[in-house]
Amino acid sequence: MTLRILAAAIPALVLAAPLAAAGPLTMTTRMMVEKRVAARDGSTATTMIPATRAVPGDRITVVLAYRNGGTAPIGNLVLANPVPRNVAFRGAAAGSAAPEVSVDGKTYGSLDGLRVTTPDGATRPATANDVTHVRWRLSSPVAAGQGGELAFQAVLK
Amino acid sequence: MSALGARRLLLAGTATIASIGTAHAQSTTTGTVAGTTITNTATASYTVNGTAGTATSNTATFVVDRKVNLTVIATPNTPKQVNLDQVDAYTTFQVTNNTNGIQDFALSANQAVLTGILTGTDTFDLNNLKIFVDSNNNGVYDPGVDTKTFIDELAPDGNATVFVVGDIPSTVVGKMAQVGLKATVAAGGTTGTLGPVLVPTPLNTLNQDNEIDIVFADDDNDGLIGYDTANNGAGWAYGAYDIGVTAVNLSVVKSATVLSDGVSALNPKALPGAIVQYCLTVTNSTLLTPATGINLTDVIPANTTYVPGSISVGGLGTGGVCLTNGFTQNDDGTPPALGPYRGSFNATTKTVTATIPTLIGGASVAASFRVKIN
């Protein structure tokens, strides 16, 4: 009952969510941790497993999978991912396109072009620890039925 | 279980409301607090045939597990100087919680310390060994005040001072006792109660994302020959009690001075009826080491009578010459009005006794009494 009244009062907000869910683009995200596994020959290999066991200092890979489930190509695709709290950005994951980064959620670019305002009003070059958002802008359209995976590396603080 | 669930919901709720990048539980070096839920959600915008659209991903979550770590050190890392028969001799340790959560710590001690960990040889054991936590954080063991036997609710990055307390026997072999302190990480959460010792979650346990696993990540605190091993959820450190000096070089010099003979005030002679003052000076010539509990006894000479109330202890004197008087003592041995000293005269044995509680290294103190020549 309460929900219906709210829906009537602000239809735009409520309508936005079902539309997005019904859109052609589906996205799933998952977080993986690196685990070093000893092989029989004495070498160690790094494998990615779901982040079920994670302690501070562990390297985490945030994976974003997208897929065009519609019939028309999707253009101008921009995928944005706020860096989770208590996680520090480190860089693009192996095999993934490098994301643009932001330290304020507004201005995106490469890390070496960004600056951070310090409490005393001065600015300093941004470091990976300052990154709060990442985004990928896909230059070519995603054809119907096509998709891909993008990922970035981070460390659990 | 339900309380835990509620807490997770609360954490997840806080995470979505607060803006990204705010400092929260990040100032500690131990990292994100165990039990914190990490969430990730991505959004996308696009156009299809010129129409704009947006999409939101699922929310991926996992719970930060407990990374158990601690350090234990002896502080200072030098042998504690003690004396024979000393009660409540103690060594001091510091236990630091490097775990990303509030923990209790169980404490135990072992007097069988392997040779080579500390300089010196472990040759005797203390009696009545106990372990106490410094409850008032003054760094000094206060009997009756520091009574907690485990570390309670230590915050991440917090540290606690621990004393290993014991009594030094009256006779010992050699001069050093060594002791090892073991601190074991236990579950926190209940103030005033030692939680159960933590057990690491087995690696092959089917692990749910929303469960706080226990992962041991502590170093081998004491090297190869000590009791500690890496990733055991415990830490060891070692301290020593050293009876560095068992004897001091104490010397006593005695002299006699005729004070009055009833005839010549200028140059009194030892005539019958003359008053003679005996002066004893005690010197501790072992620098830096105090002598304690010095008892001087002297039987008065034959054919003399003790002058009642004439015992004086604590004056200045050297080489058997009393320069100033000290504190006058009561003949019955009861405490005098002033001074730390005691004196008495036993009329049966005709013995004068003077007690000096402490004489620091390099110092002298004088004691005197008077007799009358019969």
Cβ–Cβ below 8 Å for B44 and A156: no
CB B104 within 8 A of CB B36: no
Whole-angstrom CA distances from A145 to B47, B56, B301 are: 16, 18, 121
- Please list every residue in chain A whose beta carbon sits closer than 8 Å to the beta carbon of residue B40: 29, 31, 62, 81-82, 84
Distance between A107 CA and the closest CA of chain B, angstroms: 15
Tens digit of each residue's pLDDT (9 = 90 or more) over B196-254: 999 998 876 665 667 788 999 999 988 878 899 999 999 999 999 998 766 678 888 88
- For chains A and B, what is the number of CB pairs under 8 angstroms? 145
Query: Between the CA atoms of A77, A83, A89 and A93, what dihedral angle is there, to the nearest 10 degrees?
Result: -40
Helix (H) or strand (E) holding B62: strand B51-63
> What tokens does A61 get?
């890979």
Cβ–Cβ below 8 Å for A85 and B24: yes
Cβ–Cβ below 8 Å for A29 and B66: no
Asked if B206 is an interface residue toward chain A (Cβ–Cβ < 8 A), one would say no
Asked if B20 is an interface residue toward chain A (Cβ–Cβ < 8 A), one would say yes
Residue type, A122: A
Asked if A148 is an interface residue toward chain B (Cβ–Cβ < 8 A), one would say no
**Which carries the bigger pLDDT value, residue A60 or residue B211?**
A60
Q: Under 8 Å CB-to-CB from A17, ≥6 apart: which residues?
A: none
Q: Is the pTM above the cut of 0.90?
A: no
Asked if A156 is an interface residue toward chain B (Cβ–Cβ < 8 A), one would say yes
Cβ–Cβ below 8 Å for A51 and B41: no
Helix (H) or strand (E) holding B15: helix B2-17
Nearest Cα neighbor of A96 from A139, A148, A45 is A148
Q: Under 8 Å CB-to-CB from B330, ≥6 apart: which residues?
A: B309, B336, B343, B344
Helix (H) or strand (E) holding B17: helix B2-17
pLDDT beyond 80 at B341: yes
Asked if B147 is an interface residue toward chain A (Cβ–Cβ < 8 A), one would say no
pLDDT beyond 50 at B15: no
pLDDT beyond 80 at B4: no
- Where is average pLDDT lowest: A20-34, A57-71, B109-123, B359-373? A20-34
Cβ–Cβ below 8 Å for B38 and A87: yes
Q: Is residue B99 helix, strand or coil? A: coil
pLDDT beyond 60 at A10: no
pLDDT, residue B307, reads 92
**Which carries the bigger pLDDT value, residue B127 or residue B322?**
B127
Average pLDDT, chain A: 83
Beta-carbon neighbour count of residue A75 at 10 Å? 15
Phi-psi region of B217 (alpha: psi -120 to 50; beta: other; left: phi over 0): alpha
**Which carries the bigger pLDDT value, residue B361 or residue B6?**
B361
pLDDT, residue B26, reads 42
The vertex-B295 CA angle with B284 and B325, nearest 5°, equals 75
B252-258 contact pairs (CB < 8 A, 24+) = B252/B280, B252/B281, B252/B282, B252/B283, B252/B296, B253/B280, B253/B281, B253/B283, B253/B319, B253/B320, B254/B278, B254/B279, B254/B280, B254/B298, B254/B320, B255/B279, B255/B320, B255/B321
ipTM for the complex? Answer: 0.80
Beta-carbon neighbour count of residue A20 at 10 Å? 17
Whole-angstrom CA distances from A108 to A101, A135, B214, B229, B297 are: 5, 8, 39, 48, 92
pLDDT beyond 50 at B24: no
Distance between A16 CA and the closest CA of chain B, angstroms: 9
pLDDT beyond 50 at B7: no
SS (H, E, C) chain A: CHHHHHHHHCHHHHHHHHHHHHCCEEEEEEEEEEEEEECCCCCEEEEEEECCCCCCCCEEEEEEEEEECCCCCEEEEEEEEECCCCEEEEEECCCCCCCEEECCCCCCECHHHCEEECCCCCEEECCHHHCCEEEEECCCCECCCCEEEEEEEEEEC
Q: Under 8 Å CB-to-CB from A115, ≥6 apart: which residues?
A: A123, A124, A125, A126
pLDDT beyond 50 at B14: no
Q: How confident is the model at residue A17 (pLDDT cuts 50, 70, 90)?
A: very low
Place of tokens 């933590």: B198
B285-301 mean pLDDT: 85
> What percent of chain A is predicted at pLDDT more than 70?
86
Cβ–Cβ below 8 Å for B30 and A56: yes
pLDDT, residue B333, reads 85
Residue type, B69: N
Beta-carbon neighbour count of residue B208 at 10 Å? 10
pLDDT, residue B290, reads 82
Place of tokens 């409850």: B135
> What tokens does A95 get?
């095999």
A72 closest CB neighbour out of B49, B54, B207:
B49
- Where is average pLDDT lowest: A54-63, B45-54, B88-97, B321-330? B321-330
CA distance B44 to B52: 11
Rounded to 10°, the helix A2-9/A11-22 angle is 100
Tens digit of each residue's pLDDT (9 = 90 or more) over B159-199: 999 999 999 998 888 889 999 999 999 999 999 999 999 99
* Strand pairing category for B317-318 and B321-322: antiparallel
Cβ–Cβ below 8 Å for B56 and A74: no
Q: Which one of B14, B16, B20, B63 makes the best mutation probe of the A interface by having the most chain A beta carbons within 10 Å?
A: B20
Asked if A86 is an interface residue toward chain B (Cβ–Cβ < 8 A), one would say yes
> What tokens does A45 get?
């290999």
A88-106 mean pLDDT: 91
> What tokens does B261 get?
């003979």
CA distance B146 to A6: 61
**Which carries the bigger pLDDT value, residue A52 or residue A142?**
A142
Asked if B14 is an interface residue toward chain A (Cβ–Cβ < 8 A), one would say no
CA distance B206 to B194: 29
pLDDT beyond 80 at A39: no
pLDDT beyond 70 at B11: no
pLDDT beyond 50 at B154: yes
pLDDT, residue A44, reads 79
A76 closest CB neighbour out of B15, B38, B47:
B47
pLDDT beyond 90 at A29: yes
Tens digit of each residue's pLDDT (9 = 90 or more) over B93-137: 999 999 999 999 999 999 998 888 888 889 999 999 999 999 999
CA distance B200 to B218: 12
pLDDT beyond 90 at A143: yes
Average pLDDT, chain B: 86
pLDDT beyond 80 at B16: no
- Please list every residue in chain A whose beta carbon sits closer than 8 Å to the beta carbon of residue B44: 25, 27, 66, 77-80
CB B287 within 8 A of CB B245: no
Asked if B213 is an interface residue toward chain A (Cβ–Cβ < 8 A), one would say yes
